[in-house]
Structure 1
Amino acid sequence: MPAPDRIIRMNTVLSRTGLSKTTSYRKIADGTFPAQLKISVNGAGWHESDINRWVENPVAWRAANNNERSR
């Protein structure tokens, strides 16, 4: 059985990616970074697998993300 995909918070995302908050939000708006998930009224996070894929190849994120949406 595969391990469940964890939800990680902003501080973890920033430390793994090396981005600032401002840059991460700009990239989300541009579609070049994974979007947040609403996890509570005042909280949001990211799927760890999405962040790991972005870290492995940030340039290909948009292409992979758009291809998956068009299916």
Structure 2
Amino acid sequence: LPDGSILFVLSKQAINFYDFANYFKKQGCKNALYLDGFISRAYLPENGWVQLDGNFGVIVGVTAK
């Protein structure tokens, strides 16, 4: 985002690329990465998101200089 923060978006319903990209654009994002729903999974039990239907995991790391 313009202020340097990171925005994660998860859709629990089908969404097309136009609407998905337009949402990021409206938030001020200049770049976005799309992780497709079949391979990408989320594990965030405090929000009720536990997807354990694969033998893999996602790692998102943020670093600073």
TM-score, scaled relative to structure 1? 0.24
Structure number with larger C-alpha Rg: 2
- Which structure has greater strand proportion? 1
TM-score of the two chains, using structure 2 as the length reference? 0.26
Q: Which has the higher helix share?
A: 1
